[in-house]
Amino acid sequence: MRKAANVSDYRELARGRLPHFLFEYLDGGSYDEVTLAANVGDLREVKLRQQVLRDVSTLDLSTELFGKTWSLPIGLGPIGLAGMYANRGEVQAARAARAAGVPFTLSSLGVCPVQEIARKLQSPFWLQLYIIKDRGFVRDLLAQAREAKCDALLLTVDLPVPGSRYRDYRSGLSGGTRLQRGLQALARPGWAWDVGLNGRPHSLGNLEPVLGKNTGLEDYFGWIGSNFDASITWHDVAWVRENWDGPLVIKGILEPDDARAAVTNGVDGIVVSNHGGRQLDGVSSTARALPSIADAVDGKLPVLVDGGVRSGLDVVRMLALGADFVLVGRAWAYALAGRGQAGVAHVLKLFEAEMRVAMALTGCTKITDIGRAIIDRR
């Protein structure tokens, strides 16, 4: 396949280019992947009301968030190990996001560190953060983010312990050997040359101070299990606030009570998220959880959402369900694996074009027009 018309096509390009263990890590979820499937399926079940004979000759897709105006109500969400999907993959994706006028979020488990993104991007980006037991390391990483002028911090709170991901075990990513993964890499010579040989170093750049430069994947997964802090509470969120003076967003909200607690604790936004179906299987899809959370927040802070978004039409659906902004994850990661920066740029253009069609045919000329009134509840 040489051309990609949508995210599903890029998924197949990624499957054909990545070593098996990396594609399974990107594509998979936890346990039996019920929530992973529901994220996509429930969102597709949201029906919209087609409304005609409105003047939709001019459409404005821009939106404001955290004091900035973005070209689209879309951001690239954090993806761990993205630098393994293409040569310095986080840099390529960040450049595509900058060109499209949307934010890029660097995962703290990315291959490229904060300093590299800042040096090569030369414009602000967002940083995703996990709290680990070594608070000194967390404080230092926040200092690096301030120096890099990161303009938002996404604190992920739904990974006190790693989820059980059967695909990673079967593929050899966890529990496998370097020989097993090496043979899978050799079966993808394009990837082996571009990323395996020329995309080094392959360490998790942000974690080098605590992991070292030559840590293997088996050490990485073991380190997560023993070093992520399962004791964190809202008290720790307050500690992060003391060390971070920019917008602070809590990622991993699925319940209205937790959303109300976020408001009470003075954060600047939340992300309705189930970690892409990669943590607790059987929880609600984000499309189902979103409306009650948006009601609970009642406009007191921005509500972002991720999970199952595969098109611009899905973005409009999420906005109609109550989101203010939408993060995409696998969609850009498939494109990065398939065609690098050009693929990510293409997916963002596809999303914009699909949003324009959906908005025009629902009678919406600007983002603030999109609401529950365009949902068909019949």
**CA distances (Å), 128 to each of 149, 206, 247, in order?**
14, 11, 12
pLDDT value at residue 2: 65
Could you confirm whether 275 is annotated as catalytic? Answer: yes
CA–CA gap between residue 306 and residue 82 (Å, rounded): 17
User: How many CA atoms are closer than 13 Å to the CA of 270, on its beta-carbon side?
Assistant: 34
Q: What are phi and psi of 152, to 5 degrees?
A: -165, 150
Radius of gyration of the CA atoms of the chain, in A? 20
pLDDT value at residue 213: 64
> Which residue stretches of the chain have pLDDT < 50?
1
Query: Structural domains in the chain?
Result: 7-374 (3.20.20.70)
Catalytic residue among 20, 202, 235, 275: 275
pLDDT value at residue 200: 87
Question: Are 161 and 228 within 8 A, CB to CB?
Answer: yes
β-bridge partners, 272:
253, 305
Segment 21-41, tens digit of pLDDT: 999 999 999 999 999 999 999
Question: Cβ contacts of residue 144 below 8 Å, gap of 6+?
Answer: 113, 114, 115
Tell me the average pLDDT of the chain. Answer: 94
Quote the pTM value.
0.96
Segment 233-274, tens digit of pLDDT: 999 999 999 999 999 999 999 999 999 999 999 999 999 999
Segment 88-120, tens digit of pLDDT: 999 999 999 999 999 999 999 999 999 999 999
* Closest C-alpha to 181, from 213, 220, 224, 218: 218
DSSP code string of 67-84: TEEESSSEEE---TTGGG
β-bridge partners, 327:
75
Q: What are the E-state strand segments in the chain?
A: 63-65, 68-70, 74-76, 105-106, 126-129, 152-156, 248-253, 269-272, 303-305, 325-328
pLDDT value at residue 102: 98
